[in-house]
Amino acid sequence: MKSLFLPAAFAACCGLSACSPGQPASTAVAAGAPISTAAVPDHNTTDEQPQDHKLVIYQLMTRLFGNKTALNKPYGTIQENGAGKFNDINDQALQAIKKLGVSHVWFTGVLEHATLTDYKKDGITPDDADVVKGRAGSPYAIRDYYDVAPDLAVDVKQRMQEFEALVKRTHAHDLKVIIDFIPNHVARSYQSDAKPAGVVDLGEQDDKTQAFKPSNNFYYLPGQRFVVPAGYNPLGAQKGPSEDGKFNENPAKATGNDVFSATPSVNDWFETIKLNYGVDYQNGRQPHFEPIPDTWTKMRDILVFWAGKDVDGFRCDMAEMVPVEFWAWVIPELKKVKPDLVFIGEAYDAKTYQMYLERGHFDYLYDKVGLYDGLRRLMRNEGTTEDITRVWSQESRGFSGHMLRFLENHDEQRIASQDFAGNPRAAIPAMTVSATLGTGPVMLYFGQDVGEPAYGSEGFSGEDGRTSIFDYWGVPEHQKWMNGGKFDGGRLSPEQKQLHDFYARLLTLSGQREAIRRGRFYELQDTYNLDPQYHQDRVYSYLRYTDTERLLIIVNFSPDQTYRPNLQLPEKVLERLGLPGNQLYTYTELLSQAPATSNLTVTLAPQSAYIFEIKEK
């Protein structure tokens, strides 16, 4: 069976039992057999009690997802390059997303942010180009927490109603809604014109004569004016609105990435200002959390507002830049309002993971510096499978079910780009590990499933292997899947259709199979380390199992080598699976949907993945 991700050969016996090569398997799965546990700790697994956290998240950049315009002019305007709308994410789109096995959709870039597109006729004050990144602007430079981006509406004056309709439409397809919450910083132009009656705006009552005051919402540099970074040029050769290098901010405020200077560099997040959660950064980071700081209550009220819009969860930007004490207070406050709300933290410091999960009450955290970085090296033919072992056995040991796994998102390079792997097939083994290694969530970025390579320089973003979040743009390979709004993949190549089908099967299995959702984990690297054909540095295998379902997962990361190892499960592993001797198994490869076979030989093709279900014959 030839396909994008499976080998050509399925034949005699693979030695998954204790049989010798060439002999039939002689042990069987006893349905419902109890799972035994070893008396002595086994370093191939952990004692983590598995719990079902298998969210399957589809992240889409709302401004780009539904855009059908293909001009793609660098630094192009919204009129030239187009923009996706809430209404573009229609029933056909949501049905197609659902078919990928998805449970949650993260609508990225929903909140109103600074932009160089002029909406003053709709009552929105134009932004100053000196403090906006790109023509479209960063979705993480929020200018109104209580509003949605006008770019995303067909009728700008009805933008909130169009968002509310999208939420309702998404729920009608049995999908949950996640949006961004950006708690650490806001745009320098922040001013809410959509806030509910009685809400005091951020900074409105600040004492600007004080560098730090617990009741202030911002940090100030009294007596100093903000200075636009020298040479900042948001639109290349073109001039942006009010671009003169003289943005008026006096006194200057601290910049979003903790820069307490009136002269941040062009490499800083100079378009944003840091929010004050009661930490005096310039005096040894002294905390002032009693009484509860004003910023805390304002941010709680913002979250309650969006929970009231029937949002199901929040992806919290740069969560570790906000004190854990705030999260420890606000997440329980929100769950009083809506108990099932999901909080996902963008996190990069492995030393603080457990603290933000336990004290901070996050449901999930990014597994970026661990599993993503290790898999990236493997996809680039640089690292080894020891990186995977280190993640589950050390870095996230005991709480791996709370780590969100992914290979792409809006911050990271596209796998198919020349800056990353240059080949979307490289994702096949890595995505299989991301989706099935643990019981925690897995995420897919729009366009990843069709091998979007992010070619070209969009403008501000430049040619960096990423799909721009700063520019108006059409995403070419994704547009082929979108097929003019049919969302049927009608313009994809045969290879792209195979890749898309792989993702759909993998994510569907991950969301449906109990062994992946809630089963135990057992690594098989030690089991096969004496086989000269196993090549541990590029081949990785493990078991996921419950007392009623047993799955063997094996992947080959090598871009060009085929391996034919003799796979055998020793007695202690068979015992762990509850597999008694003297009976026969069948093996069914689930990704290829191949017929069950009693005798199986697996040829590990380059960049391949396999999920075998082991059952009693």
- Each residue's pLDDT tens digit, 462-511: 999 999 999 999 999 999 999 999 999 999 999 999 999 999 999 999 99
CA distances, 34 to each of 348, 575, 578, 616 (Å) = 39, 10, 6, 15
Tell whether 347 and 434 lie within a shared domain: yes
- The count of other CB atoms within 10 Å of the CB of residue 556 is 26
169 and 300 inside one domain: yes
For the stretch 318-369, pLDDT in tens is 999 999 999 999 999 999 999 999 999 999 999 999 999 999 999 999 999 9
Q: Is residue 265 part of a domain?
A: no
In this structure, the strands spanning 56-61 and 104-108 are parallel
pLDDT digits (tens, 9 = 90+) for 58-80: 999 999 999 999 999 999 999 99
**Is the CB of residue 446 less than 8 Å from the CB of residue 61?**
yes
Same domain, 77 and 120: yes
pLDDT at 291 exceeding the cut of 80:
yes
How many separate domains does the chain show? 2
Q: At what angle do helices 294-307 and 324-337 cross, to 10 degrees?
A: 40
Residue with tokens 């109890």: 34
pLDDT of 15 higher than 60: no
Tokens of 135: 């023509």
- Report the alpha-carbon distance of residue 138 to residue 132 in Å, rounded: 7
Residue 391 structure tokens: 């993640």
Residue 213 lies in a domain: no
Dist CA 271 CA 264 (whole Å): 10
> pLDDT tens digit string along 174-209?
999 999 999 999 999 999 999 999 999 999 999 999
| 93 DSSP assignment | H
Name the domain boundary from 488, 506, 540.
Answer: 488
Percent of the chain with pLDDT over 90: 87
Task: Determine the distance from the C-alpha atom of residue 393 to the mean position of all C-alpha atoms in its chain, rounded to a whole number.
Answer: 22
DSSP calls for 324-384: HHHHHHHHHHHHHH-TT-EEEE----GGGHHHHHHTS--SEEE-IIIIIHHHHHHHTT-S-
3-class state of residue 581 by DSSP: strand
pLDDT, average across residues 582-607? 85
Residue 595 CB contacts under 8 Å (≥ 6 apart), including other chains:
588
Domain co-membership, 519 together with 484? no
Tokens of 614: 């082991």
Q: Minimal CA–CA distance to 70: which of 58, 88, 84, 86?
A: 84
Q: In angstroms, rounded to a whole number, what is the distance separating the alpha carbons of residues 374 and 390?
A: 9
Per-residue pLDDT reduced to its tens digit, 543-556: 999 999 999 999 99
Query: Does pLDDT of 36 surpass 70?
Result: no
pLDDT value at residue 569: 79
In a shared domain, residues 68 and 109: yes
Distance CA 581, CA 302 (A): 60
344: which strand partners? Answer: 315, 364
pLDDT at 5 over 60: no
* pLDDT (0 to 100) of residue 581: 62
Nearest to 272 by CA among 254, 290, 260, 285: 254
Checking if the pLDDT of 31 tops 70, the result is no
Based on the fold, state whether residues 584 and 541 are members of the same structural domain.
Answer: yes
* Of 429, 453, 488, the domain-final residue: 488
Count of beta carbons in the 10 Å neighbourhood of residue 27: 22
Q: Residue 428's Cα: distance from chain center in Å?
A: 17
Amino acid at the residue 26: S
pLDDT at 17 over 80: no
What ranges in 87-235 are assigned the alpha helix state H? 91-99, 159-172
Q: Is the pLDDT of residue 300 over 90?
A: yes
Instruction: Provide CB contacts within 8 A for 268, sequence distance 6+.
Output: 229, 255, 256, 257, 259
Q: What is the CATH number of the domain that holds 572?
A: 2.60.40.1180
Spatial neighbors of 95 by CB under 8 A, at least 6 apart, are 173, 487
Residues 65 and 183 in one domain: yes
Mean pLDDT computed over 25-49: 58
- What does the CA dihedral 178, 183, 187, 192 come to, rounded to 10 degrees? 80
As a whole number of angstroms, the distance between CA 441 and CA 364 comes to 8
Per-residue pLDDT for 40 more than 70?
A: no
Predicted local confidence at residue 567, as pLDDT: 82
The verdict on residue 350 lying in a domain is: yes
Are 470 and 521 contained in the same domain? no
Token output for 400: 């791996």
Query: Is 204 inside a domain boundary?
Result: no
The residue count for the chain? 617
Mean pLDDT, the chain, whole residue set: 92
pLDDT value at residue 574: 85
- Answer with the one of 420, 453, 488 that is the final residue of a domain: 488
Cα–Cα distance for residue pair 541/534, rounded to 1 Å: 10
For 89-213, strand residue ranges (E) read 104-108, 111-113, 142-148, 176-181, 185-187
283 within some domain: no
- Amino acid letter, residue 400: S
Same domain, 520 and 451: no
Same domain membership, residue 451 and residue 311:
yes
Average pLDDT over residues 442-459: 98
256: in domain: no
Rounded CA-CA distance 120/608 in Å is: 53
Q: Tens digits of per-residue pLDDT, 83-123?
A: 999 999 999 999 999 999 999 999 999 999 999 999 999 99
Residue corresponding to tokens 């799965």? 29
| Helices 91-99 & 159-172 angle (0-180, nearest 10) | 40
**Nearest Cα to Cα of residue 506 among 27, 100, 37:** 100
Residue 271 has pLDDT above 60, yes or no: yes
The Cα–Cα gap between 528 and 526 comes to 5
Q: Characterize 291-311 residue by residue with b for buried, 16 or more Cβ atoms within 10 angstroms of its Cβ, and e for exposed.
A: eebbbbebbbebbebbbeeeb
Q: What's the CA gap between 276 and 212, in Å, rounded? A: 8
Same domain (yes/no): 463, 523: no
CA end-to-end span of the chain: 23
The pLDDT score that the predictor gives to residue 92 is 98
Per residue in 165-174, pLDDT tens? Answer: 999 999 999 9
DSSP three-state, residue 96: helix
Rounded-to-integer distance, Cα 283 and Cα 286, Å: 6
Quick check: bond before 50 cis, omega within 30?
no
pLDDT band at 39 (very low <50, low <70, confident <90, very high): low
User: 3-class SS at 615?
Assistant: strand
Residue bearing tokens 């940090």? 219
Q: Residue 218 falls within a domain, yes or no? A: no
Decide if 19 is inside a domain.
no
Q: What are the tokens at 333?
A: 């406050």
pLDDT at 81: 98
Same domain, 476 and 526: no
Residue reference for tokens 């200018």: 143
pLDDT for residue 13 is more than 70: no
Question: What CATH number is associated with residue 82?
Answer: 3.20.20.80
Q: What is the pLDDT of residue 570?
A: 80
Domain containing 448 equals: 56-187+295-488
